[in-house]
Structure 1
Amino acid sequence: MNHTRSLSLLLSATVLLAACKKEEAAPAAAPTAEPAAAAPEAAAEGLKSSPAPEGAKVSFAELKDGATVSSPLLVKFAVEGIALAPAGAVEPASGHHHLVIDAELPPPDAPIPANANYVHFGKAQTEATIELTPGTHTLQLVYGNGMHVPFNPPLASDKITVTVK
C-alpha cells in the first residue's frame, strides 16, 4: 500500500472515530476511562480487515425476526467467541458492535460508515435504545475491529425485519 493511501485511510479512520465518539448512543454502563489513542502504526494496522476468530458470532439477544415493536426500542446485542473492546483498541480478536438500519452490510475492506443507517457502539455497548419511524425496518449487526473495519469473514448477525406500530 502506498504512503498516500495509508495516510488517507488513517485520516478517514480518525475522522470516523471522532464522529463515532460524538454521535454514539448512551452506553448501558459508562466506561470508567476513555481508551488511549492508538499509535499511528497501530491505527494503520487496524484499518485492515482482521481475521475473524473461528466460531465467533454476533446476534440480537432478544429481538426476533418478524417482531412487532414500539419506538423507542431497546435493542440488546450478543457476542460470543470474540472480545468486546472500545473503538481505538487495536487488539487481535476484539471489536465492537455496529447496527445497520435499513441498509446493506458495508464493504468488508473499509471502515464502517457513521450515519443514520450505520450506528456505531464504540464504547463497547451491549444495548441501545433506538428511535424508528412507524413501518417496516431491517436491522443487522456487524462487528468491527478497533478502527471500525469489519472482520474477515464478516461477523454479522442475520438480517431481521421488525414492524414499528
Structure 2
Amino acid sequence: MSGMNTPGDPRPSPTVNAGKLWAGGAATAAVAALIAIAGILLGRGLFGIEVLAPKGEGVWGDASTGWYALGAAMAALAATGLIHVLLLTTPRPMRFFGWVVALATICGMLAPFVTDAPLGVRMYTSGLNFVIGIAIGSLVAGTAKTAIVPVVPRPAPRPYPRPYR
C-alpha cells in the first residue's frame, strides 16, 4: 500500500505497515474503553455523579456503561481507519487527522449539553469525552507515525569510468 503521489512527482511514496497500524488501533480501542469505564466508575462511585444512569442503578449503572465503553472503542477503530485512508491518499495526513479528531472531540464534549441532565452530569460527561478524545487522537497519531515505512531512495547509477587516454 503506497501513499499518493502526483504523476510528475519524482519522490517515491512511503508505505504503511497496516498490521502495525491496526494493532495500535486495537490497543487504542482497549484503552479508550477502559478510560470510559474508569471514568464512569469514578464519577458514580467517588463523586456520586449520575453519569449515563440514574442514581438508583448503582455504581455500575445500567447497560449504557457497556455501550459507552463500546462507543469509545469504536471511535478509536474509526480513527484508525481514518488515518489509514489519509496516509494513503492525502498530503499532510497528520494535519488533517488532527483537525478531524479535534472537531470530533469538540462535538463529543458539546453533546451532553443538548440533554436535560443536571449541569454537573453534563460537565462531567463532557470532561470524560474530552479525555477519551485526547487519548484516541494521541495514541492513533503516534501509532500512525510508527507505521509509516519510509522510502529509502536508491542511489543514482554511477556512470562507468572513462578509460584514461
How high is the TM-score relative to the length of structure 2? 0.29
When you count helix as a share of all residues, which structure comes out higher? 2
Q: Which has the larger radius of gyration?
A: 2
When you count strand as a share of all residues, which structure comes out higher? 1
